[in-house]
C-alpha cells in the first residue's frame, strides 16, 4: 500500500534565471508547483510573477489550423529544441495564410454543393412538368410561384383560394404537397394573403432555363464538377500538411511543453529582482532533480520532507506494483487518499479478485474473460481491461474448485479422481446441505473482511496521529472489540454451543465498548484539551443515542450484505442450467444454443458481478478506513 513520499523544494534566484529554471523543471517531469505565498511566512512584500507566454499565440494558431482542416499532429518526444520566436511567428503566419486559403475554398465549394443538392431535391418534385421555366415565367398577364403546402392545410386550400388563382399539384410526401400556383397580375396581393393562410413555402426555381429534366441534368453535372474540385483541394491540403508534418509535430510538441512550463512561473513570487518558487517532488527523484538545479548558476534551494509539513497537504502519487496498478481505477473513482492516509489499492485488488472469482466461478468463461481483458489492455491500455484480465484468472481458478467449465459440471471429474482421489468435484453447490453452508460461509467471509477493514482503519488513524478516533470511533478499537464480540457470541451460542458467556463478557466486551463509543466525542475532548468542557447533556445524549443505534444497524446490514456472494454463486449455476435445458429442447440446435447461452451468461454476469463486488468494496469495505480528498500529483511537463 504505497503512496510516494514527497519533499517540498524551495528555490530562490535572480529573475533572469526564472525562464531557464521553468524549462529545466518542466523537462524533469517531477515538479508539482504550489503557490509560495501559501507555504512560506513573511511574504507580504512578495508579488506574483507577471509572466507573458510568447509561445501561447503561436501554439493556438497551430491548434486552430489543425482543427480547420481536421488534422492532428502525430506524437513526438520533446527534445528541448524551440526556434527563435521571431522566425517562428513569421513561419506560423505564412502557414496560417496557406491553411486559411485551403479552408475557405473548401468551405465555399461545400456551400455550393449543398445548394446544388437542395436545388436537385426541389427539382425532383416537378419532373412531370414538360414546359420550360422560360415559358412558365414569361407570361405577360399571369404570374407563377413554385412552392409546397403542408398536408394538413392542403385539403382546405380549395375553400381558401379565391377567383383568379389556380393550383397545379405535381407530387407529395409525408409532409408536403408540391405545387405550382398561377394568378393574374391584378390579384397578386390577394394571392399572397391566401398563400400565407395555408402556410405556403416558396421554392426558388431558375427564372430562365429549360425543362425540369434539362435542369436536373445540368445540376448533376455541376455537383460532380464541385465534388472533383473539393477532392482536388483536399489533396493539395493533404500534400501541404504532409510536407510540413515532421517539422510541425516537432514544433507543436515543444510549444505544448513550453506552454505547460509556464504553470510553474505563474505560481512563483517576486521581490525586487529575486524570485522564489516552491513545489513538491517525489523523494526518490530528489537527487536527480537537485542535480538539474545545480547546473543553473545563481540559484539556492532547500528541501523539506512532506511528513514534517503535512499540514500543507502534499499531493498524492500512488505507487503500486504492475499487478495491482489497474485497481487504482476503483480507488481514484472513490477519491485519492490524503497524504499520509493508507492507500487501499492492494486491499481492494485482493478482495475484489477473491470475491469476483467466487461469485463468477467457471474455468472456460474465466479464460475467455481473461483473454478478452488482455486483448483490450494491449490495444487500449485501459485500467478496466486490466482488471477484467486478472479477474478472469480468478474466475478460472474458482471454476476449477467448483468444477464448472462453460457450465459443464461433470467435465473435470476424471481430473479430480486422478489428481486428488475424489469421486467428483469438491463442492456441489446445488445440494441442499451445501446451500446453507454457502450462505453461512458468505456471511463469515464478510465478517472477516469487515474486521480486516476496521483493523486497517485503526492503523491508518494511528499513522495520522488521530489517536482518539482510533480508540473511540465505530470503526476504531471500541467498534472492533464490539463487532468481534458479537461474532464470537453468535458462533459460540448458535454454532459451537461450547460454553455460555457470563456477565463479565457482556459488560467488558459489549456494554463497555458501546458506552465508550457513545461518549467518544466527549472523551476525545478531555484527552485532547486535558479539561472538561461544558456540554448540553440532553441534546448530546439524544443525538448520540441515535448515532449508536444507527452504528449497530449498520454492523448488521453490512454483514448480511455479504449474503449476495452466495446468491450470485447460485445465480451462475442456475443460469447455466437454464441454458442447458433450452439446448436439450432445441434438438439439432443444441451446440449453437450452448454457445450463444455461454456468451450471454458471460457478458451479463461480468457486468452484474463486477458492479456487485464494487458495491461491496465501496459501501462495506474500504470506505471504513478510507476517506479520500487528496490532491493528485500533477507535475509540470507531464
Residue 366's SS3 state is: helix
Segment 472-493, tens digit of pLDDT: 888 888 888 888 888 888 887 7
What is the reported pLDDT for 396?
Answer: 92
Q: Is the pTM above the cut of 0.75? A: no
Alpha helix ranges (H) inside 432-511: 432-463, 467-472, 477-490, 503-505
Confidence of residue 518 (pLDDT cuts 50, 70, 90): confident
Segment 310-340, tens digit of pLDDT: 778 889 888 888 889 899 888 888 888 888 7
Confidence of residue 76 (pLDDT cuts 50, 70, 90): very low
Q: Is residue 3 part of a domain?
A: no
Helical pair 432-463 and 345-359, crossing angle rounded to 10 deg: 170
Q: How far is it, in rounded angstroms, from Cα 563 to Cα 233?
A: 66
Q: How far is it, in rounded angstroms, from Cα 275 to Cα 278?
A: 10
What's the whole-number mean pLDDT along residues 505-517? 77
Please state, for a pLDDT cut of 90, what percent of the chain lies above it: 15
* Cβ(269)–Cβ(50) below 8 Å: no
Q: In what order do the strands lie in the sheet with 176-184?
A: 165-172, 176-184, 142-150, 201-202
Least confident among 423-437, 562-576, 588-602:
423-437
Most confident of 118-122, 533-537, 542-546: 118-122
Q: Is residue 612 part of a domain?
A: yes
Q: Is residue 470 part of a domain?
A: yes
What is the reported pLDDT for 370?
Answer: 93
Q: Which residue(s) pair with 303 in the sheet?
A: 9
DSSP state of 179: E
Residue 354 has pLDDT above 90, yes or no: yes
Q: Kindly state the helix (H) or strand (E) to which residue 340 belongs, with its residue range.
A: none
Total domain count for the chain?
2
- Where among 165, 187, 210 does a domain terminate? 210
User: Is the domain of 332 the same as that of 203?
Assistant: no
* Cβ(223)–Cβ(117) below 8 Å: yes
**Domain of residue 161, CATH code:** 3.30.70.2750
Please state, for a pLDDT cut of 70, what percent of the chain lies above it: 87
What is the reported pLDDT for 351?
Answer: 92
User: For the residues of 37-99, what is the DSSP string, one character each?
Assistant: GGTSSS-TT-EE-----TTHHHHHHHHHHHHHTT--PPP----S----HHHHHHHHHHHHHHH
Cell of 171: 407530387
Confidence of residue 596 (pLDDT cuts 50, 70, 90): very high
Where does 306-393 show beta strands of DSSP type E?
Answer: none
Residue 77 has pLDDT above 70, yes or no: no
User: For the residues of 567-624, what is the DSSP string, one character each?
Assistant: HHHHHHHHHHHHHHHHHHHTGGGHHHHHHHHHHHHHHHHHHHHHHHHHHIIIIIIGGG
Average pLDDT, rounded, for the chain? 82
* Cβ(301)–Cβ(22) below 8 Å: no
Q: Is residue 118 part of a domain?
A: no
| Radius of gyration in angstroms for the set of CA atoms belonging to the chain, rounded to a whole number | 38
Q: How far is it, in rounded angstroms, from Cα 116 to Cα 119?
A: 5
Q: Is residue 312 part of a domain?
A: no
Which is more confidently placed, 171 or 190? 171
Least confident among 42-46, 263-267, 296-300:
42-46
Q: Is residue 540 part of a domain?
A: yes
Q: Is residue 5 part of a domain?
A: no
Segment 110-160, tens digit of pLDDT: 999 998 988 888 888 888 888 888 888 877 778 888 888 888 777 666 554
Q: How far is it, in rounded angstroms, from Cα 497 to Cα 634?
A: 58
- Where among 156, 187, 210 does a domain terminate? 210
- Where among 167, 188, 210 does a domain terminate? 210
Segment 206-225, tens digit of pLDDT: 876 788 888 888 889 999 99
Residue 393 has pLDDT above 90, yes or no: yes
Least confident among 192-201, 374-383, 422-431, 575-584:
422-431
CA angle, 383 then 387 then 390, to 5°? 140
* Cβ(22)–Cβ(264) below 8 Å: yes
Helical pair 563-585 and 432-463, crossing angle rounded to 10 deg: 140
What is the reported pLDDT for 94?
Answer: 85
Q: Is residue 292 part of a domain?
A: no
User: Is the domain of 201 the same as that of 341?
Assistant: no
Which structural domain, as residue segments, surrounds residue 156? Answer: 131-210
Amino acid at each position: 500500500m504505497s503512496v510516494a513520499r514527497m519533499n517540498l523544494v524551495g528555490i530562490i534566484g535572480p529573475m533572469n534565471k526564472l525562464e531557464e529554471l521553468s524549462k529545466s523543471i518542466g523537462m524533469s517531469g517531477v515538479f508539482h508547483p504550489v503557490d509560495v505565498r501559501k507555504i512560506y511566512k513573511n511574504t507580504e512584500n512578495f508579488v506574483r510573477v507577471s509572466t507573458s507566454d510568447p509561445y501561447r499565440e503561436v501554439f493556438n494558431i497551430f491548434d486552430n489550423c489543425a482543427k480547420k482542416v481536421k488534422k492532428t499532429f502525430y506524437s513526438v518526444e520533446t527534445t528541448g529544441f524551440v526556434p527563435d520566436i521571431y522566425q517562428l511567428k513569421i513561419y506560423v503566419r505564412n502557414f496560417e495564410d496557406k491553411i486559411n486559403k485551403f479552408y475557405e475554398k473548401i468551405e465555399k465549394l461545400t456551400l455550393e454543393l449543398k445548394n446544388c443538392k437542395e436545388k436537385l431535391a426541389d427539382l425532383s418534385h416537378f419532373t412531370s412538368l414538360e414546359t420550360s421555366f422560360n415559358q412558365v415565367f414569361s407570361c405577360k398577364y399571369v404570374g407563377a410561384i413554385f412552392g409546397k403546402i403542408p398536408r394538413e392545410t392542403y385539403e382546405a386550400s380549395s375553400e381558401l383560394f379565391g377567383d383568379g388563382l389556380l393550383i397545379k399539384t405535381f407530387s407529395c410526401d409525408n409532409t408536403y404537397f408540391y405545387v405550382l400556383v398561377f394568378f393574374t397580375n391584378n390579384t397578386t396581393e390577394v394571392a399572397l394573403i391566401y398563400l400565407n393562410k395555408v402556410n405556403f413555402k416558396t421554392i426558388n426555381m431558375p427564372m430562365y432555363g429549360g425543362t425540369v429534366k434539362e435542369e436536373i441534368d445540368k445540376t448533376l453535372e455541376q455537383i460532380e464538377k464541385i465534388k472533383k474540385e473539393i477532392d482536388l483541394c483536399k489533396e493539395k491540403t493533404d500534400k501541404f500538411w504532409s510536407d510540413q508534418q515532421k517539422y510541425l509535430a516537432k514544433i507543436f510538441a515543444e510549444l505544448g511543453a513550453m506552454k505547460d512550463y509556464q504553470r510553474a512561473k505563474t505560481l512563483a513570487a517576486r521581490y525586487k529582482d529575486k524570485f522564489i518558487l516552491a513545489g513538491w517532488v517525489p523523494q526518490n527523484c530528489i537527487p536527480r532533480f537537485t542535480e538539474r538545479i545545480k547546473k543553473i548558476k545563481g540559484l539556492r534551494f532547500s528541501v523539506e520532507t512532506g511528513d514534517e509539513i503535512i499540514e500543507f497537504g502534499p499531493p498524492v502519487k500512488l505507487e503500486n506494483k504492475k499487478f495491482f496498478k489497474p485497481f487504482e481505477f476503483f480507488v481514484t473513482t472513490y477519491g485519492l487518499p490524503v497524504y499520509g492516509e493508507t492507500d487501499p489499492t492492494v486491499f481492494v485488488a485482493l478482495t475484489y479478485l477473491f470475491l469476483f472469482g467466487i461469485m463468477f466461478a467457471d474455468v472456460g468463461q474465466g479464460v475467455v474473460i481473461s483473454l478478452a481483458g488482455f486483448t483490450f489492455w494491449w490495444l487500449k491500455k485501459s485500467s478496466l481491461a486490466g482488471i477484467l484480465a486478472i479477474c478472469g484468472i480468478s474466475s478460472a481458478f474458482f471454476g476449477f474448485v467448483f468444477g464448472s467449465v462453460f457450465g459443464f459440471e461433470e467435465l473435470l471429474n476424471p481430473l479430480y479422481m486422478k489428481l486428488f482421489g475424489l469421486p467428483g468435484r469438491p463442492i456441489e453447490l446445488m445440494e441442499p446441505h451445501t446451500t446453507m453452508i454457502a450462505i453461512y460461509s458468505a456471511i463469515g467471509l464478510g465478517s472477516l473482511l469487515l474486521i480486516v477493514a476496521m483493523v486497517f482503519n485503526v492503523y491508518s488513524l494511528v499513522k495520522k496521529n488521530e489517536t482518539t478516533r482510533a480508540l473511540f470511533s465505530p470503526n476504531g478499537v471500541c467498534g472492533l472489540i464490539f463487532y468481534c464480540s458479537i461474532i464470537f457470541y453468535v458462533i459460540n451460542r448458535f454454532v459451537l454451543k461450547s460454553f455460555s458467556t457470563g456477565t463479565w463478557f457482556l459488560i467488558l466486551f459489549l456494554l463497555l465498548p458501546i458506552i465508550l463509543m457513545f461518549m467518544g466525542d466527549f472523551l476525545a475532548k478531555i484527552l485532547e484539551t486535558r479539561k472538561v468542557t461544558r456540554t448540553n447533556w440532553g441534546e448530546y445524549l439524544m443525538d448520540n443515542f441515535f448515532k449508536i443505534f444507527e452504528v449497530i444497524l449498520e454492523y448488521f446490514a453490512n454483514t448480511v450484505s455479504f449474503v449476495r456472494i452466495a446468491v450470485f454463486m447460485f445465480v451462475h449455476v442456475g443460469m447455466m442450467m437454464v441454458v442447458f435445458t433450452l439446448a436439450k429442447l432445441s434438438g439439432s440446435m443444441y451446440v449453437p444454443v450452448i454457445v450463444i447461452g455461454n456468451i450471454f451468461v458471460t457478458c451479463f454476469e461480468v457486468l452484474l458481478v463486477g458492479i456487485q463486488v464494487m458495491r461491496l468494496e465501496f459501501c462495506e469495505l474500504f470506505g471504513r478506513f478510507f476517506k479520500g480528498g487528496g490532491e493528485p500529483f500533477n507535475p509540470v511537463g507531464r
